[in-house]
Chain A
């Protein structure tokens, strides 16, 4: 939007849709996206209101950024501009939940913490443990496809999302799936929306199948003096009859970030408040198993002397440990505001080569590496901490990413989830993908012909 008058007129129209108190303009405390402040922010309370906002935006070719709990907004490219920030946090609440059916329908603005609390009353849960679930919304988590350690056994949200309602760029309220656990009527729009980063529609509701909560779990921490030993152990576990619900790998450098985040005291200062210390050399494989005393005892016997300590679910220790694992990335970013975080996707056998690649690429470009991730799904969270003695230039981020990607095994992809926004214009944060880009672009163009949703932020 070019003029103040246009902005004011847009604000009036948005106020007519969702009420004056739910529209604010840039001068108010509108959160910035990679430093870009949205011209107008509007908070809607229903799919119909979202549809009216999008129809208006589409008509004028205004760029819209959907927003939930603002936990993942910095992922992706720096947008050229954001005309409307479309906030969904007021489309909230659990729509329907019948514990007997093991299904739940949730409005998009609801936080996952609220959902889990409701499920826990009936000893059920969504086996989903991405970071910051006290703020992250259901819509945001589906849109970003974020996941945590439970992905090992249960897959991502895509694997138990059974229905989705969303608003298209043209202002149509559409849905896919339904409220039953098995359903092949129509196209699987749940898969398409999952991880689409708000580029194909604004998610307003999602339905999931829920699971009985395990009565007890135990975590087995196993230490190894080298990556090779850790990976070999992972291989043995994968090929054994054991069925852990989490199977994570933790690099030597990561251990010091597995604690409650310590916020940087001086966010404007370049150097990290605490220098990253020289890492040790212990790699860890951590399993979490669910079952009766008998079953957990069997895990203990099978894993044998590799186990250095165990954490039980009836102690706070286990809960705390996995909370730290989930929040590894937050912990890194709280301490080093210039750190870079990457997410990887690769075949199981790619994990060891990818970790070698990280250990090679990071020091070459003045970073200290640390990693936490799913050892048997190939979903790693890689952190690159800039050496405080020699702050990296924008190009060093680009070169480090390029060097790392160049060493990845075939079929792997890796996106940069976080890095200083100043570095982003110098490289492609999304990188390459094994999936056909032509079709991705065609899908985007078909459903958002004017490219108003999150323009310039995602791979399409």
Chain B
């Protein structure tokens, strides 16, 4: 990295807010995904003006910049090459405003997802999108990736909950999109920005919707002797006219793995379980719980349990939310993807994943957002065994190919990043991708910001990393997760 750029960065943000020693930079070589590369420098702005100053410098010196939140992303979106600056938003972590009357909060990008709910739960509100990494991941990162989570089945993903943005463009200009209003006159620049994976600008303030906490919540655990019965239930529930708040599935291997880790009360001998959450008015929840239990039983559930109290409910969810971590305990490494399929194809896809698992002799655990058809196959392998590494990648590619064959998508919530860039031509034509590049160029003409992500134009490289970073923020009492 050019030492004059480092000097100028220090002038903007202060001496201690720039890292450039190799041992410091090592920590920023990876995110939650499998790609790895050491950046040239890491800079920690504290204000929007800092970010603007950094971007002006980057623009003038043609230095690539890669924005980074908590580094929990699973597609290599925060990976920077050696000539690039990592722009960490970790110090911009203040909740700027909570406006209950307008049901909005304005936050800085480095605010951890769960902190928004922690700060508003006493007021009777919460922030709906709830990625499994919500104790660590940041709102800025959520905006970049258009993150989902279990409760997005009924409530929608990040883009449905962001109404306004303050954005620093790649040339350092500070601009505003939307505000506290649900929408505004003209193009929906807010909606278009969400999910752009840091290639259009750096969000420095984000206005999010606060959702009224439901009066009543109940969680059911349906237990199955075969994976196919559980998969068929998913189809039956969505057809029954009930939209659960969440509808998650864990296969037998995952159930045992999770149970050994957190003792959530999952049956060790099940072939699959469904975790079904219903919320709303007490009367509606009670009726729906009965109806859903009937659907499960009819679809050959061995048993349907209902969490008796909040503690039991939280425990059931703890199992789901810590599933990836639990896998980290039993396997040296795993590779996960998040392909999406139409809901009716869940049974066929799970059968195909089982076939792929046997073909390569690799364990593949499944824990996923079944109601959305959003898979998360965890492919276990030993990184010291080159054959297994290769097979794990092949298996992952085959699963994504299966998703595409069923009319699905290569990613439901993790983003394209570096990891899945080479698969974009399988989903989109050259014209589609050219239109996307044209639009990106309207914001980021020289591709200074997060270059070589999402839309393929150069070769990609990848290595392997271990499990996700540890949680930072614990839920406050009474906060729904």
Contact = CB atoms under 8 A, between A and B. Distances in A.
Contacts of A349: 101-102
Contact of A436 (B177, B287, B413, B440): B177
Most buried by B among A185, A200, A347: A185
Nearest 4 A-B pairs (CB), nearest first? A191-B191, A241-B215, A212-B241, A436-B175
Interface string A254-271: 000000000000000000
A347 B104 contact: yes
B427 interface: yes
Given A176-B432, A184-B413, A291-B283, A191 B159 contact: yes
B432 A174 contact: yes
B344 interface: yes
A298 B281 contact: yes
A98 B342 contact: yes
6 contacts: A181-B343, A182-B340, A185-B420, A414-B185, A431-B185, A439-B443
Most buried by B among A184, A187, A347, A348: A184
Interface string A166-177: 001000111110
Interface of B: 99, 101-104, 124, 145-146, 148, 152, 156-157, 159-160, 164, 169, 173, 175-192, 194-196, 212, 214-216, 235, 238-243, 280-281, 283-284, 287, 340-344, 369, 372-374, 407-416, 420, 424, 427-429, 431-436, 438-443, 454-455
A402 interface: no
Contacts of A446: 438-439, 441-442
B411 A185 contact: yes
Contact of A159 (B99, B156, B243, B369): B156
B436 A187 contact: yes
Most buried by B among A379, A434, A459: A434
Interface in A326-342: none
B454 A186 contact: yes
Contacts of A191: 159, 188, 191-192, 194
A158 B372 contact: no
Contact of B186 (A168, A175, A186, A433): A433
Interface string A124-145: 0000000000000000000001
B187 A185 contact: no
Contacts of A189: 192, 435-436, 439
B442 A174 contact: no
Contact of B176 (A173, A415, A434, A460): A434
B407 A438 contact: no
A179 B342 contact: yes
B187 A195 contact: yes
A242 interface: yes
Interface stretch (A100-108, A274-282, A305-313): A100-108
Contacts of B238: 100, 102
A289 B390 CA distance: 55
A447 B184 contact: no
A432 B76 CA distance: 39
Given A158-B191, A172-B431, A442 B442 contact: yes
Given A158-B191, A431-B185, 17 more contacts: A101-B344, A178-B408, A185-B427, A186-B454, A187-B192, A187-B454, A189-B435, A189-B436, A194-B188, A195-B183, A239-B124, A291-B281, A345-B182, A347-B181, A434-B184, A440-B186, A440-B187
Contacts, number: 270
B120 to A, nearest CB: 13
A23 to B, nearest CB: 26
A186 B442 contact: no
A182 B102 contact: no
A447 B439 contact: yes
Given A123-B241, A433-B186, A235 B181 contact: no
A389 B93 CA distance: 60
B101 A348 contact: yes
Interface string A182-211: 111111110110111000100000000001
Most buried by B among A181, A211, A294, A415: A181
Given A100-B235, A241-B281, A184 B416 contact: yes
B455 A186 contact: yes
Contacts of A174: 429, 431-432, 434-435
A215 interface: yes
Nearest to A430: B185
Contacts of B283: 291-292, 294-295, 298
Contact of B195 (A102, A184, A378): A184
Interface string A426-453: 0000111111111110110111000000
Contacts of A225: none
B284 A188 contact: no
A123 to B, nearest CB: 7
Contacts of B341: 180
Given A195-B187, A446-B442, A185 B374 contact: no
Contacts of B240: 212
A109 to B, nearest CB: 22
A304 B251 CA distance: 48
Contacts of A295: 281, 283-284, 287
A295 B291 CA distance: 15
Contact of A413 (B156, B185, B424): B185
B436 A186 contact: yes
Contact of B214 (A176, A241, A348): A241
Contacts of A378: 181-182
Contacts of A173: 429, 431
A184 B284 contact: no
A188 B342 contact: no
B466 to A, nearest CB: 24
A346 interface: yes
Interface in A373-394: 377-379
A435 B190 contact: yes
A226 interface: no
